[in-house]
Structure 1
Amino acid sequence: MGSTFFSRLRRPLALGLGALALGLTLASCSGARLESTALNLVNATNSTRGLKVVRDRRYGPDARNLLDVYAPANAANAPVVLFVHGGSWQGGDKAGYAFVGESLARAGYVTGVMNYRLAPQHRYPAYVQDAAAALRWLRDNARASGGNPDDLFVTGHSAGGFNAVEAVDNARWLAEAGVPISAVRGVIGIAGPYSYDFRQFQSRVAFPEGATPDEVMPDRHLRPDAPPHLLLVAGNDTTVYPQNALNMEAALKKAGIPVTRTVLPKLNHVTVIGAVARNLTFLGSTRQQMIDFIEAHRRR
């Protein structure tokens, strides 16, 4: 079989991946329904075969207090990662982000992908408390999946990035959930709105009436012993402004907390998370940035 055969084989694959990339790009400007469809296509092309997957583990009393766990088949003392989805705190579902669990499990990590209570019925800090409670569940059950309960990482995209950072950086939430501060090795925020005046946006319904940014924004709530942070910024993001990461970086540095802010060129608010999928890494380096950070800060 010569080069002609392989070129014919590669062409439909390239076309398929190109269609996935185009779907994600269109989703960034065409609404939640198209975004959901695009994410479902990404999930459909990233099989979990060979992984240990358990779904709908309950970490709290609410109907949405569920998470799915993805683990390498032979994991032993592996880092444990909690991923929090976005959706302006008003939508989104863990099922749409199975590709994140699959991708990080293939990298060797026990990964939890969670749901949380949604606004406007449940406003800040309900969804942050859910992130802390889910992390507690993952820690308590880490060894059953081959994970190290004292080697935890928390990450999230968009609103989920806010939840991840706030849950770890504000001393209140881990303490309330019973998660030792020393167990969390790092935080990865992906296009998160960590520092903005929500009162000017529709997302104000996710916060208490009469609240101010000083009362709810993660960059105002930094404990001095917070772990290292990686802040990933989509270079073409028009949904969450890059100033959020700049402000968060400045606050972390002022508090003496290690932080790396990385701008990923050509990615938008949706493709920056889509690039976590193993078959879409050609879009950008989101996945590799996450892996490099975890490997640099995991327990040895």
Structure 2
Amino acid sequence: MSSRKFPRAAGLALAAATLGLTLAACSPQNALNTVTSTRGLNVTQNVRYGPAPRNVMDVYAPQNVQNAPVVLFIHGGSWQGGDKEGHKFVGESLARAGYVTGVMNYRLAPEHRYPDYVQDAASALKVLRDRAQSYGGSPDNLFVMGHSAGGFNAVEMVDNARWLREADVPVSAVRGVIGVAGPYSYDFRQFPSRVAFPEGGNPDDIMPDRHVRPDAPPNLLLVAANDTTVDPYNAVNMEAALKEAGVPVTRTVLPGLNHITVIAAMARPLTFLGDTRQQVIDFIEAHRLK
């Protein structure tokens, strides 16, 4: 626990939020929203990017900005659960840092299997790019970030040559991708999450580390040192594939964090948990258009 001193009310709120982390399945959900205020931000809810009920995103934007970096965030949940409402704290955190941020829902397994949710991510990025200037963002200064299953979606969507091309998003517009505890390189056939992939599917045809385009933008792979949900070898293998393709990559292991707290540390009141938020901001600042 940090040695910083907090007001009693804030301390109680933090304790409640941290307790909520132990009860959450794959995202902090409502516990963190109780300590997240969007006052002073422009928030547009349920921006539609496709015809399905879950083809919506919330956009968090600073006031009075122009040509700000634009970030699309994709939640986790084993491709079977999770939602944008539970990740309000990510949208707020990134908007306070000066970025226009879309927090999206996507179609879920087992009804929707790969590549449906990756195509959803590309469609959401297309709409976010098309409307970027209306929120104060730059359409050519895009970043994509995801946690857990959402990290897979983010890295697969950006690093595979197929998805941006099919969504008509210029590859040059995406300045970087951030994967947080993502399963980029595993044999899903051995796990319950196999229901998120085609029956009879082969990991060699699906995993992001198997088809990296050489012109992919820089990748930041954040690993929770105490992650017992997604094995760290996923990031090791992804890093190796990116390096082999000549793509700039940084793999950072964050001490003291687990699969849940690594994304909870994006919340501004919970940065004492670990360095996730600062790592993300530093990466965006290093690669954004100036």
Q: Answer yes or no: same fold by TM over 0.5.
A: yes
1:90 match: secondary structure: coil
Q: What is the 5 A alignment of 1:100-249?
A: 100-249=90-239
- Determine the structure 2 residue equivalent to 1:3: none
Shift of 1:17: 1.4
Aligned residue runs from structure 1 range 70-89, under 5 A: 70-89=60-79
In structure 1, the gaps of 5 or more residues are 1-6
Q: Deviations over 1:188-222 (max 9, x none)?
A: 00000000000000000000011111010000010
Please tell me whether the aligned partners of residues 174 and 180 of structure 1 are also in contact (alpha carbons under 8 angstroms).
Answer: yes
Within 2, Cα distance between the matches of 1:132 and 1:110? 17
Per-residue deviation, 1:61: 1.0
Give, in angstroms, the shift of residue 12 of structure 1: 4.1
The answer as to whether partners of 1:21 and 1:283 remain within 8 angstroms in 2 is no
> Unaligned stretches of 5+ in structure 2?
none
Report the CA distance shift for 1:124/1:134 in structure 2 as closer, same or farther (over 3 A): same
2:45 to 52, 55, 58: 55
Q: Counterparts in 2 of 1:244-255, with a 5 A limit?
A: 244-255=234-245
Match of 2:15 among 15, 18, 42: 18
Q: Tell me how far apart the structure 1 counterparts of residues 203 and 246 of structure 2 sit (CA, whole Å).
A: 22
2:279 aligned partner: 289
Per-residue CA deviations over 1:263-282 (Å, capped at 9, x if unaligned) read 11111101100000000000
- Aligned-residue CA RMSD in angstroms? 1.2
1:111 counterpart SS class: strand
Q: Which has a greater percent of helix?
A: 1
Contact 1:140/1:149 (8 A) holds in 2: yes
- Matched positions, count: 286
Contact 1:186 1:297 in 2 (8 A): yes
Q: Distance in 2 between matches of 1:45 and 1:73?
A: 21
Instruction: Return the match for 2:32 from 38, 42, 66.
Output: 42
Contact 2:14–2:35 (8 Å) recurs in 1: no
- Counterpart secondary structure, 1:168: helix
Contact 2:16-2:31 within 8 A present in 1 as well: no
Aligned partners of 1:179, 1:19: CA distance in 2, in Å?
41
* Secondary structure, counterpart of 1:120 in structure 2: coil
| Structure 1 ranges of 4+ moved more than 4 A | none
| 2:257 is equivalent to residue 267 of structure 1 | yes
- Does the Cα contact within 8 Å between 1:230 and 1:261 map onto a contact in 2? yes
